[in-house]
């Protein structure tokens, strides 16, 4: 394996591409680290990025550590949704730092720009990230380096500080001009690509933090599929289409029950028994009646149908499809997320505006 001079946090966003290219343009070998978790990461795009940007890039799966960090409660709090941007950066940089010796590299690169994001890219936040990740002196931010203290690769002469930049603020003009200079064949859109910053995803994910003492990465994969219904600690994902049904079937694990209305095509539903959740027979029958109400053919019958429940000791049950069940199945609203995330997590500002 050839040694590298630097490891770069490579999200696939424009700033991360430009930061890596800026150091590579000085004749240094840069390896991009593309971090992957249930909330972000597009590992399927790595080969494409390598080809169009001329960079070496590898995936780095941080799913377990990331879910544990979120579950423990991020030290620096959450932004407008469930995004723990400062702790996220700290986690990635710590992992990148651990990888330096493996690749013969001596410093790290990130694409942060001073003042670009209110939560994680204020100067004080950039300094907190340096301190908590233990990367002071070895983390070079090429796009805004001239506004920050010199780093070791600059003082040693490995990197020419004169060829770094002093960008700041939220505008994109400087970045687009630089993309032009480097002749980038593709300019990614500014859209984030991190599910933790999206309201719809926060509604999917928050209940897991409320009702599971130790959520696992695979739980968030399930939370990403279909309609998500909760009744206290009881959880059910219901397919909206064939792709959802296929995805649900592929995710069935030993703690799960898969519901299907017998002989009538329609949605599947998957319930995962979270630790501490009491799934007695009454709860399973209730869930069967509820999921059957999403099956148009079962509803058209307007009478009892049989629901097969793989993973349940009784195997199947006859129910009348109904949305008025004993268990209060509901999809969490955004307002509930805003309120309940304060009970569970530290929140930055008003919890609505900062990223
Ligand atoms: S938006 Fe925030 S939480 Fe999401 S990947 Fe970026 S820094 Fe991490």
Q: What's the average model confidence in pLDDT over 266-273?
A: 98
Q: Is the model's pLDDT at 353 over the cut of 70?
A: no
Alpha helices, H only, the chain: 14-24, 46-53, 63-72, 85-99, 123-133, 152-155, 173-181, 199-211, 217-223, 242-251, 281-292, 296-301, 334-344
Tell the residue nearest (CA) to atom 2 of ligand 1.
85
Mean pLDDT of all residues belonging to the chain: 94
CATH code for 6-195?
3.40.50.620
Residue 324: DSSP 8-state: S
CA atoms within 13 A on the CB side of 276: 9
Residue 315: DSSP 8-state: -
pLDDT of 241 reads: 97
CB 91 within 8 A of CB 196: no
In the reported structure, the alpha carbon of residue 266 is separated from the centroid of ligand 1 by a whole-number distance in angstroms of 36
Indicate whether this model's pTM tops 0.85: yes
Q: What's the average model confidence in pLDDT over 263-283?
A: 96
Q: Is the model's pLDDT at 348 over the cut of 80?
A: no
In the reported structure, the alpha carbon of residue 95 is separated from the centroid of ligand 1 by a whole-number distance in angstroms of 15
Tell the residue nearest (CA) to atom 7 of ligand 1.
85
CB 298 within 8 A of CB 292: yes
pLDDT tens for each residue of 303-330: 999 999 999 999 999 999 999 999 999 9
Instruction: Kindly state if the Cβ of 66 falls inside 6 Å of ligand 1.
Output: no
Q: Is the model's pLDDT at 191 over the cut of 80?
A: no
pLDDT tens for each residue of 155-167: 999 999 999 999 9
pLDDT of 119 reads: 64
pLDDT of 352 reads: 43
Residue 119: DSSP 8-state: T
pLDDT of 123 reads: 84
Instruction: Kindly state if the Cβ of 83 falls inside 6 Å of ligand 1.
Output: yes
Instruction: Kindly state if the Cβ of 197 falls inside 6 Å of ligand 1.
Output: yes
CB 292 within 8 A of CB 303: no
Q: What's the average model confidence in pLDDT over 323-341?
A: 95
Residues of the chain with CATH 3.40.50.620: 6-195
In the reported structure, the alpha carbon of residue 16 is separated from the centroid of ligand 1 by a whole-number distance in angstroms of 13
Q: What's the average model confidence in pLDDT over 211-231?
A: 96
In the reported structure, the alpha carbon of residue 345 is separated from the centroid of ligand 1 by a whole-number distance in angstroms of 16
Residue 189 pLDDT grade (very low, low, confident, very high; cuts 50, 70, 90): confident
Residue 121 pLDDT grade (very low, low, confident, very high; cuts 50, 70, 90): confident
Residue 122 pLDDT grade (very low, low, confident, very high; cuts 50, 70, 90): confident
């Amino acid at each position: 394996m050839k040694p590298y001079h630097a490891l770069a946090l490579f999200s696939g966003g424009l700033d991360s591409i430009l930061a890596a290219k800026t150091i590579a343009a000085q004749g240094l070998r840069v390896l991009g680290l593309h971090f992957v978790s249930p909330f972000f990461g597009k590992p399927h795009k790595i080969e494409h990025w390598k080809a169009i940007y001329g960079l070496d890039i590898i995936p780095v799966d941080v799913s377990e550590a990331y879910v544990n960090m979120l579950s423990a409660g991020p030290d620096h709090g959450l932004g407008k949704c469930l995004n723990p941007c400062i702790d996220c950066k700290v986690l990635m940089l710590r992992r990148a730092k651990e990888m330096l010796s493996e690749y013969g590299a001596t410093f790290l690169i990130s694409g942060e720009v001073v003042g670009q994001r209110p939560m994680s890219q204020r100067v004080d936040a950039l300094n907190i990230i340096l301190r908590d990740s233990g990367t002071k002196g070895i983390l070079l931010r090429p796009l805004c380096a001239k506004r920050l203290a010199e780093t070791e690769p600059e003082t040693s002469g490995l990197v020419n500080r004169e060829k770094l930049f002093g960008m700041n603020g939220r505008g994109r003009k400087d970045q687009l001009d630089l993309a032009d200079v480097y002749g980038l064949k593709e300019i990614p859109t500014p859209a984030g690509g991190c599910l933790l910053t999206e309201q719809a995803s926060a509604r999917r994910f928050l209940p897991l933090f409320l009702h599971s003492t130790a959520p696992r990465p695979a739980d968030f994969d399930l939370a990403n599929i279909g309609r998500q219904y909760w009744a206290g600690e009881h959880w059910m994902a219901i397919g909206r289409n064939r792709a959802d049904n296929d995805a649900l079937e592929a995710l069935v694990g030993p703690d799960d029950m898969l519901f299907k209305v017998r002989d009538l095509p329609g949605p599947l539903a998957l319930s995962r028994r979270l630790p501490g959740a009491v799934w007695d027979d009454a709860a399973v029958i209730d869930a069967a009646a509820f999921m059957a109400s999403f099956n148009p053919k079962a509803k058209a019958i307007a009478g009892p149908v049989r629901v097969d429940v793989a993973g349940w000791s009784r195997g199947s049950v006859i129910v009348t499809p109904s949305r008025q069940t004993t268990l209060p199945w509901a999809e969490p609203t955004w307002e509930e997320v805003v309120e309940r995330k304060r009970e569970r997590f530290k929140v930055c500002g008003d919890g609505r505006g900062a990223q």
